[in-house]
Structure 1
Amino acid sequence: MAMSFNNDVISLSKVHIETAPYGIAFNIDINSESADQDTTHTIDLQNAFLKFKKKQIHRIKTKKKKKKQFPAIPVALNSKEKLELRGKFISKLYSYIGTPYARRYHTPDCIYYKRELFLDCCGLVRRVLRDLCTDFQFCIGPWNQAYMYDTLPIKLASTDEMQPGDLVFVSATYFDNNRKRQIHDMVHVEVWLGDGDKTIGSRWFKGTVQVLESYRFVSKSYYNMEYHFCSIDTWLEGVCHSFCPDHKWITRPSTPPKHSIFNEHLSCGQCDST
């Protein structure tokens, strides 16, 4: 059997079909008859797939081992301990001052372009919470500021009720009508410092994590801005899940489904044929 490809004639001289525990293996000897040289290639699809499968199973196992375990019922903190955790939260935020927002807003000749770490507004809060996950007794999910807003049910009427470490959320409408609308129109988040109207956050595309003189600002990306003040007391109690009836924010399980080819316990005959 032969076929033409780029003016060369490829002859399939040998096709070996073998049964195997996971299906059928095709070993094909391909002879390329060209003016320059004849090359014989052996393709073992099954071995390549089994190597890939083994690598994926190892990756999944490693990910599960790294996942921290937290008590089913968080240990209750007293008022003093909660205050200390707020301080620890803010201190950790300060450790990221100078971290740029995102690489895509910088050119290769910029000092920030080659940085390894970039943190946008929600990325900063998420990073600090994960750094302190043992203290907070939970691992926050991967979503943005809208998710964080849904996990903090204690809404505050004004800044007079705010404590250092509480969050200031911004809801707004994008100028760009083609841009995807955020859940609850929530577009930004910063952390209240309790020093006048100061916050700490990652606000500007070409900027860095910094202390900001006021939570109020004018954006070039959105308008109709509204500010929402949320207490982090729920987080301080070791609780982090959505309280919004419309958005559950459920993570996909890290363990492969029962019939997944990456489930190491799956053997031939267990797969559905439908």
Structure 2
Amino acid sequence: TTSAAQQFGDLWMQPECSNEKGASGAPASLQDAFSAWRLAKLAKAQSRTVQPPSSPDAARKQQLRRQFVDIAKSYIGVPYCQRAHEPINCACEGCTESGRKLYDDPSFVDCCALVRIVVRKMRDQLGVRIGPMNQAYQFDTLPVRVDNLEELEPGDLIFYSGRYFNPETKQHPFDMTHVEIFIGGSTGEATIGSRERFKWVKEYDTYKFVSKRWSLIGCFFCKLDPWLEGNLQPQHPELWREPWGTKPAPVGIALSWNSQRFSVFHHGSAGDEDADGQGAQDSW
């Protein structure tokens, strides 16, 4: 191995290392030779391709994203809602396809409930609590949005705004009708979601689909970073009020829910609401 002193000595003997040369072409001084040696060392170091190390915050976010997706995947197969099935001899497409009696499943998860459950299970890691809100509230707490699918990372959320075909169905704030979790996958646009009323949480090859109940207005690509940074606050707190009164609910913690005004489960009475999907309204 050549030592730094030997390298410097070699440079001292090389006339091309100096900008100033004597009559013989040798460096004009020892100082010039040292400067030339130092510049050569810097140039060599800069020529190497070095990947900067990820910051601890970036590494932590990636770990949280993986955990977010893993928890969501653990719910694949859980039915959308109980009331979509008959208690006896159900002949719906979900029960027929699966060979299961989905009515008797122990739990049910619609689109926003899937996201809510994941956040609740990661409460200690994220440092936030989320109330029994639907996809409209979740959208309101994720203000970092991008225009291109290529900018999404696994765990980011895709929200769908739409207009219900049934004029008696109440619109949610921002016309938000559905949400899915982006994972990318082999297609680059795969998601996990609870999309089909008679079926269950699935991994889909693409976020694109045509609903039977609403016409699509647009999709919103939302970054998960605010939640990963412990920030779960609605941008429009005036929309999320306590059920009995007009006082805005506190932000960033478990919030009360005006089920009559904004519930995804609303179909006639507040008593029909169920946070785990048993009374869920079909959002597909």
- Same fold per TM (> 0.5)? yes
Q: How far does residue 115 in structure 1 lie from its aligned partner after superposition?
A: 1.1
Larger radius of gyration: 2
- Compared with structure 1, are the counterparts of its residues 77 and 107 closer, same or farther at alpha carbon in structure 2 (3 Å cutoff)? farther
| Matched AA of 1:231 | K
Q: How do 1:92-131 residues align onto structure 2 when only pairs under 5 Å count?
A: 92-109=71-88, 110=90, 111-131=101-121
Separation in 1, partners of 2:238, 2:181: 25
Residue 174 (str. 1) matches residue 153 (str. 2): no
Structure 1, unaligned runs of 5 or more: 1-75, 254-274
Match of 2:235 in 1: 243
Larger relative contact order (Cα-Cα within 8 Å, sequence gap ≥ 6): 2
Q: Residue 104 of structure 1: CA displacement?
A: 0.4
Q: d(CA) in 2 for partners of 1:151 and 1:241?
A: 5
Per-residue deviation at 1:246? 4.8
For the residue of structure 1 that corresponds to 2:235, the secondary structure is: coil
Tell me what 2:275 maps to.
none
Question: Residue type of the partner of 1:181?
Answer: Q
Contact 1:77 1:237 in 2 (8 A): no
Structure with the higher helix share, 1 or 2? 2
AA at the equivalent of 1:213: D
TM-aligned CA deviation for residue 77 of structure 1:
6.6
Q: Name the residue aligned to 1:229.
A: 221
Q: Which residue identity is paired with 1:108? A: P
Equivalent residue, structure 2, for 1:82: 61
Which ranges in structure 2 are unaligned for 5 or more consecutive residues?
1-54, 91-100, 242-248, 250-254, 258-284
Q: 1:157 corresponds to which residue? A: 147
Map 1:1-274; keep pairs closer than 5 Å: 78-109=57-88, 110=90, 111-195=101-185, 196-244=188-236, 246-248=238-240, 250=249, 251-252=255-256
Give structure 1 regions of 4+ aligned residues with deviation exceeding 3 angstroms: none
Q: Distance in 2 between matches of 1:248 and 1:155?
A: 21
TM-score by length of 1: 0.62
SS in 2 for 1:193: strand
Alpha-carbon distance in 1 for matches of 2:198, 2:65: 29
